[in-house]
Amino acid sequence: MLSPLRQTDLTPTVAPFGFTGPCLRHARDEEVFAEGDTADYVYQVISGSVRTCRTLRDGRRQIDEFHFAGDYFGLEAGELHRVTAEAMTDTTVRMVRLGVLSDLAARKPHVARALFRLTVEGLQRSQDHVLMLGRKTARERVVGLLIDLADRTGGGGELDVPMSRQDMADYLGLTIETVSRTLTQLQADGVIAIPTTRHIVLCDGVALRRLAN
Amino acid sequence: MLSPLRQTDLTPTVAPFGFTGPCLRHARDEEVFAEGDTADYVYQVISGSVRTCRTLRDGRRQIDEFHFAGDYFGLEAGELHRVTAEAMTDTTVRMVRLGVLSDLAARKPHVARALFRLTVEGLQRSQDHVLMLGRKTARERVVGLLIDLADRTGGGGELDVPMSRQDMADYLGLTIETVSRTLTQLQADGVIAIPTTRHIVLCDGVALRRLAN
DNA sequence: CGTGAGTTTGAAGGGAATCAAGACTAGTGG
DNA sequence: CCACTAGTCTTGATTCCCTTCAAACTCACG
């Protein structure tokens, strides 16, 4: 049952579970759910982009993950959401009641496998994040994010950045000023171009991969 | 199927899957498997303690997780191990062939559920780790680790620290000097005592939880 | 064209890293 | 049993990367 997990019997960018559920639109910066809410649903991004984050009492914020079309989020081990989910752009999400997903997973082994696989992949992404935050420099982190975004949104070297500089900083464990300075420096070095704030071009992929570590 | 996941129908400190498998002893600092090895087995700590870590080309190391009796580790989404696992103390681990676990999960729904639940919990632990590395100070990180160890090894305020200062540093995203200085300072503040290097007493649990954030 | 949020840039400061000894501890062998 | 030794840990001095504080700039939007 685990071995089949290794085969991609579904395309993660399309509905992976073959279920239907109500779709909800969220405006930019609107909350999908908050830390502490009852976790009755699992969500899938249909279009747009979502950030999941946690905030310490004194306001320090850490973004766990960015979610794009096809990604799912909101699955918890306990009864409550441990993170807050917010739309970064105008976004449509599909809501799947936990009970419905459970039934489906129970009836259809390939759904259970897909769900499990997605969770393990999420764990591995989180471990990459840990390595980055624990041991990489500001420059390595910023480059790493750019490469990750390019790989996931699949526009080649052309990046439409859906998040603010503050979001980038809170994902990378840096300040907004450091992110901005680092991007400026990368542009000066000729490895990226920043035609507009929300549009970044990766000029030299090879050099970037080297910088990312 | 997901809802039952919330109930603990097994004690994680004991064999959670009810399988048997060969047990292997590893001496201190011995490798259980290495990054890049084929991932044919999942492992469970029977006694002792294990660290899983990743290393950048230039030698920077980040420890993902410490594993103690009952914990499982080594499950991957792909064919290869992405981390290296090493015994921190003399350790016994049970090896379960991936195929055996797959069959078991396919036949026994409660095994599949347990496996899934453990994975989600691992993901949440990793997210806690991300928050710590991204947004917490050296002191908050050290205190957080001490509390986590106390909670998991369950000796009350008495901690038998199985890892070296270097391991602590590589888990916390700090240097060995900073870890040492921070522990010394915590002792000076009276919230912990350090009778020996590998033995730490948490004197003031309330103050510590406050310091951890 | 004015307004303001978001971003960039500059200057100064600080927390952790680095560099460098020194102290302790656990093995080792006499 | 105890010197000897290597590895680990602690402590001190200095450096540096990133943060903080501050201000100017950009651009979308009324």
Q: What is the pLDDT of residue A15?
A: 52
**Residue A209, phi then psi, degrees to nearest 5:** -60, -35
Q: Which residues of B touch A105 (CB under 8 A)?
A: 1-2
Q: Which residues of B touch A133 (CB under 8 A)?
A: 130, 133-134, 173
Structure tokens at A189: 């070095």
A101 contacts B2? CB cut-off 8 A: yes
B134 → closest Cβ in A62, A79, A112: A62
Kindly identify which residue of chain A lies nearest to residue B62, measuring between CA atoms: A131
Q: What is the pLDDT of residue A78?
A: 92
Structure tokens at B19: 């399988």
Report the range of poorest mean pLDDT among A48-57, A145-154, B97-106: B97-106
A98 → closest Cβ in B3, B106, B129: B3
pLDDT in tens, A105-119: 888 888 899 999 999
pLDDT in tens, A82-92: 999 999 999 99
Give the residue among A14, A16, A53 at the shortest CA–CA distance from A31. Answer: A53
CA trace torsion B145, B150, B152, B154 (10° rounding):
170
Structure tokens at B167: 């391991």
Work out if A137's Cβ lies within 7 angstroms of strand D.
yes
Q: What is the pLDDT of residue A21?
A: 84
Structure tokens at B210: 């406050």
Enter the pTM of the model. Answer: 0.92
Q: Which nucleotides of C are covered by protein (CB under 7 A)?
A: 6-11, 15-20, 25-26
β-partners of residue A87 are A50
B154 burial class (0-12, 13-18, 19+ CB within 10 angstroms)? exposed
Q: What is the pLDDT of residue B18?
A: 65
In the chain, the amino acid numbered B139 is R
- Those residues whose C-beta lies under 8 Å from the C-beta of residue A182, and which sit 6 or more positions away, are A138, A139, A142, A174
Q: Which nucleotide is nearest to A197 (CA to C1')?
A: C7
Q: Which residues of A touch B5 (CB under 8 A)?
A: 77
Interface of A with B in 102-161 (CB under 8 A): 102-103, 105-106, 109, 112, 115-117, 119-124, 126-127, 129-131, 133-136
* A7: confidence class by pLDDT, cuts 50, 70, 90: very low
Q: Distance from A195 to chain B by nearest Cα, in Å?
A: 29
How many CB atoms neighbour CB A37 within 10 A?
19
Q: What is the pLDDT of residue A20?
A: 75
A72 burial class (0-12, 13-18, 19+ CB within 10 angstroms)? buried
Q: What is the pLDDT of residue B21?
A: 83
Interface of B with A in 83-102 (CB under 8 A): 83, 98-99, 101-102
- Report how far residue B140's alpha carbon sits from residue A108's, in angstroms, rounded to the nearest whole number: 45
Nucleotide C7 C1' to residue A207 CA (A): 26
Q: In tens digits, what is the pLDDT along chain B, a chain of 213 residues?
A: 333 333 333 333 345 566 678 999 999 999 999 999 999 999 999 999 999 999 999 999 999 999 999 999 999 999 999 999 999 999 999 999 999 998 888 888 888 999 999 999 999 999 999 999 999 999 999 999 999 999 999 878 999 999 999 999 999 999 999 999 999 999 999 999 999 999 999 999 999 999 999
- Report how far residue A139's alpha carbon sits from residue A159's, in angstroms, rounded to the nearest whole number: 18
B6 contacts A78? CB cut-off 8 A: yes
pLDDT > 50? residue A9: no
* Mean pLDDT, range A152-169, rounded to an integer: 93
pLDDT top residue among A152 and B19: A152
> Which residue shows structure tokens 């806690």?
B128
